[in-house]
Amino acid sequence: MSDEENQWKDRSTPHWHLYQRQNLINAANGQLPPFNTDPTKLEREARAKLSQNGWFYASSNAGQSHTHHANRAAFARHRILPRTLVGTNRRETRTEIFGRSIPAPICFAPIGINEIYHAQAELAVARVAGRLGLPYCLSTAGSRPVESVGEANGEEGVRWFQLYMPHDDELTMSLLKRAWGAGFDVLILTTDTWQLGWRHDDIATGNYAFYHGRGASLGFTDPVFQRRLKEAGIDPETDPKAAAQKWIDTIWHGRSHNWEKVKWVLQQWKTLTNGKPFVIKGIQDARDAEMAVEVGCDGVVVSNHAGRQIDGAVASLDALEGVVAAVGGRTTVLFDSGVRSGSDVFKALALGAKAVLVGRLWVWGLSIQGEVGVEHVMRSLLAEFDLTMELAGCNRIEDIRRDRVRTVEEMDGKQKAKL
C-alpha cells in the first residue's frame, strides 16, 4: 500500500499495486469497490447474476469435477518461499512474449459465447485487455465477429486468435484470413476439445447455447460458412438454431485432427502471416510437447481446459514442470487452468511458465458488472501479483525461479530427513 508520492519514477511498468491503495482511499471517502474479488465470493456473486444456463456454462466441469479440484489442490501444495530485505522498489512486471513486450505475464484466455454472460460480450473484454496492454485471445466460439473484437481491442492491442479447426479447409483459411486482417497475429490451436467432455449439469438441463441459436457469430459473418448454410438450405435469419448447430458441428463434435493436419494449418498460418507465431493449447504430456516442437510450433499452452474435458486428469500445474523440462529451452511454454490469484501466477512462473492465461476470473467479473467488472477483476489480479513479487523479494520476472517455491512433499521430506 505504497504512498504514490514515494515511488521510483523510473519503473517502466505500471504501479499495479497502487490499485490497492486507490480502493482503500476511495472507501475512506465513501466509495467502495464494485465488488469483492475474493474468488469464492466473486463466484458466488456471478452465480446470483447469471441465469441457470449461464451459470452452468461458466462453472460446469467434466464428471465429478475431480480435475477441477486437482488444479486447485496443486496450487495449494506449492508454497512460496519469500526472500526479505531485497530492495524491491524498482521491481518490474514486464516480460516479452512472442516478440512483444507486455506489462505483466498475464493473458486473457479464450472463452466462447461471452454474450451469455453480458450483453457487451467479447467487446467489453477486448476493450479492457487493450487498456491494460495484456494479450487478448478470441475464441472461434466467440459471440461477436472477429473484426468487431479487433476494433474494440484498439490499435495498440495485443491480439491472439484461438482456432477450433473445421474439417473444411476453405472455412479454416477464411477464419485465418479474417483473424489476420483484424490484427490477430498469434494463432493458438486448441487440441483438447474436438468433443465436449461429459458435464452433468449441462446435459441434465439441455444447456448448450449453440443448439439454441446463440454463439455462432464468427460463423454467421464468415463468407465461406454463409455459402455452406446456403448450400444446406439453412437461413440463419429464420432458423438460427439449425444454423448455429451446423456451425458448432463443423468445428467440434467428435472429429479430431492429427499431427499431419497440425503441420498443414501451421504452414498455412506461417505463409499467410509471413511467419507469425503458432501455438498449441491443451498439452499435458511432455511427449506431445516434444512433438509440437518437432513440427515447428512456437509455443505450447499447458492446459486441461480448466477441468472441463476429462474427469480425473492430471492437474495442469503438476504437468507443467515435465513439459518445461522437455521443451522449455526450445519453445515458449504458457500455462492455463485453475489460476485464481496473484500468488497462483507467481507459482506457475516459478515452475517454468513464461506467462499464464486467466479465464474464469474475468468471466465472473463480466457477469457481475460488464466491462467495469472485467477491469476490476483484472486490475485486482495485477495488483496482487505485483504485491506478491514485492513481498517475495523479486525485482524482475526472471527472479521468479523454481527455488522460490516449495511443495508440501518437499517440505515433508526435508522434515523427515532432519528427524
Helix (H, G, I), strand (E, B) or coil at 356: strand
Helix (H, G, I), strand (E, B) or coil at 394: coil
Helix (H, G, I), strand (E, B) or coil at 326: helix
- Beta bridge partners of residue 356, listed in sequence order: 106, 335
Do β-strands 100-102 and 95-97 pair in parallel, antiparallel, or remain unpaired?
A: antiparallel
- Determine contact, residues 210/196, Cβ cutoff 8 Å: no
- Cα–Cα distance list, 91 to 1, 380, 385 (Å): 15, 18, 12
Residue 305 a catalytic site member: yes
Helix (H, G, I), strand (E, B) or coil at 382: helix
Sign of CA dihedral 126, 127, 130, 132: negative
Q: Which residues contact 90 (CB under 8 A, 6 or more apart)?
A: 8, 10, 11, 395
Amino acid code (one letter) for 412: D
- Catalytic residue, chosen from 68, 78, 305, 376, is 305
Which H or E run contains 269?
A: helix 259-273
- The CA distance from 339 to 350, in Å, is 14
- Cα–Cα distance list, 29 to 16, 19, 35 (Å): 21, 15, 16
Amino acid code (one letter) for 6: N
- Which cell is 62 given? 467434466
Question: Which of the residues are catalytic?
Answer: 305
